[in-house]
A and B are shown apart, each in its own frame.
With several copies, the nearest count.
Chain A
């Protein structure tokens, strides 16, 4: 059986178009580059100040000045650029990043997202999450359909502290793809053999069905 995180990453990868500037959050989104179709060369942006990052370096070949926002060592592709944090977030907030793919704790049917503060207890780490969901042209959320306890993460309204309102345009779980627009949430695709009833059972939000 495929790791559900790979199911999600593979499908999220299909949301990206060649040449787009994309910022990938930590966790599932980091698996996306492995699933990009040949010729779909997205340009990876990392909010700590790089555009055009390449594969992970070989062990021992890390450059200590070259990390991504998850503090992992990276490499640069030819044509990469390096800049400071103020410039990097200017790019993000200014709408120059085509898509961000990131995880979430909850997404509401209006596209609100909560992804920086875990239930019960202050996380005290927000990093660039708020900037990215507000600024990126498309916000693609990759998350399992439910919490480990089985609670739906797609909810009528977020109960956790918000990251941003009406920001998410697409949600990919291990069982389904949803799109969100002014008209609300739409189930547009079933994944990995899941059925409509299963998706209904693990989704707390109202949604319409627009399976192609």
Chain B
């Protein structure tokens, strides 16, 4: 199904309490800043589980959602970009799971790809195996990782077409393509929306069957720099 064009405020309203939400970006690069802003300022959905490489920075991006007390649990590879997230996890204010970054990315891809579990050597024999099944395969100790799905994915692309096909720019791709594939409802913001046919078929990174809502990106990194300072 092609994506529905809408506004960030409208799209965010579809997120219920208790939802599991994936949020793209590596730090703020490639993060869906417009959608995060709408989630923070235009929604009161709470008890949320967030899956994202980072949990924002103090008072910026997802860091604002954390301050609002609306995060129940966070799954990330790098909480340390936001000391307030580390503090919340350590104090028990939020539940958390720390995963190796590649395992995080692969588990999200697996969910989108209908893979029900995979064995990775990364993290085997360490505390980040999290008590998961370990098995030696061809002499290599491996951890059985489950797929990570979400109710909603918030992603950002540089280019979209009117159907919702997405193309990312440079290192702003990061977690966005995998997350777009792994959620029941994928909401994408795009910096530039081209006419249908504006993307070459081989240049589409995320085909529109993964995208449910398409909104215009209205914020860029410059707009949120120092927001919490």
Residues of A within 8 A of B (CB): 19-21, 43, 45-52, 63-69, 71, 76, 78-86, 88-98, 122-131, 134-135, 161-165
B79 cross-chain contacts in A, Cβ below 8 A: 124-125
Q: Quick one: which of A84, A96, A122, A126 has the most chain B CB within 10 A?
A: A84
> A93 contacts B207, CB within 8 Å?
no
> B175 contacts A131, CB within 8 Å?
no
**Out of A69, A93, A163, which one reaches B121, CB within 8 Å?**
A93
In the assembly, what is the distance between CA of A47 and CA of B99, in Å? Answer: 15
Q: How far is the CB of B158 from chain A (nearest CB, A)?
A: 7
The answer to whether A66 and B113 touch (CB under 8 A), given A79-B208, A90-B106, is: no
> B178 contacts A86, CB within 8 Å?
yes
**Out of A91, A95, A131, A164, which one reaches B101, CB within 8 Å?**
A131
> A128 contacts B77, CB within 8 Å?
yes
Question: Is B159 an interface residue, CB under 8 A from the partner?
Answer: no
Q: How far is the CB of B199 from chain A (nearest CB, A)?
A: 8
The answer to whether A82 and B2 touch (CB under 8 A), given A126-B98, A126-B100, is: no
Residues of B within 8 A of A (CB): 1-2, 26-27, 29-30, 53, 77-81, 85-86, 89-90, 96, 98-103, 105-106, 108-109, 111-115, 120-128, 141, 158, 161-163, 165, 168-178, 181-182, 196-197, 199, 201-202, 204-205, 207-210, 220-222
> A49 contacts B173, CB within 8 Å?
yes
A134 cross-chain contacts in B, Cβ below 8 A: 121-122
Q: Binding site of B, secondary structure by majority: helix, strand, loop or mixed? A: mixed
List 10 A-B pairs, minimum CB-CB distance, nearest first.
Answer: A89-B102, A93-B114, A125-B80, A78-B197, A90-B113, A131-B102, A81-B204, A124-B79, A85-B105, A94-B114
Q: How far is the CB of B212 from chain A (nearest CB, A)?
A: 11
A93 cross-chain contacts in B, Cβ below 8 A: 102, 106, 113-115, 120-122
A165 cross-chain contacts in B, Cβ below 8 A: 124-125, 141
**Out of B90, B171, B177, B204, which one reaches A86, CB within 8 Å?**
B177
B208 cross-chain contacts in A, Cβ below 8 A: 43, 51, 79, 81
> A67 contacts B27, CB within 8 Å?
yes
> A86 contacts B106, CB within 8 Å?
yes
Q: How far is the CB of A160 from chain B (nearest CB, A)?
A: 11
Q: How far is the CB of B161 from chain A (nearest CB, A)?
A: 6
> A85 contacts B174, CB within 8 Å?
yes
